[in-house]
Amino acid sequence: YSSAASDVYKRQALDQWLDGLPPKVRQAFLLRRLDGLKHAEIAEAMGVSIATVERYMKQALVHLYLSPQASHG
């Protein structure tokens, strides 16, 4: 068991999980988590309202929670 193998597995699981998201939800999630943008910045970048970004983030988190790949404890 190696850390590199674990990282590859985690990356594959993340990629698979992201593939299950609608494109705009995935984009908002990645802008938040990878780029560290705030909701207002994401809204401006995507040309949507802050409320829409918040809805996208909630949708992504619900998808993650319900995902069979996610460990819940």
Mean pLDDT of the chain: 86
> What pLDDT digit, counting tens, does each position of 3-21 carry?
777 777 777 777 787 888 9
Q: In Å, what is the CA distance from 8 to each residue of 30, 33, 40?
A: 18, 19, 32
This prediction's pTM: 0.74
Distant-in-sequence, close-in-space partners of 7: CB < 8 Å, separation ≥ 6: none
pLDDT at 32: 95
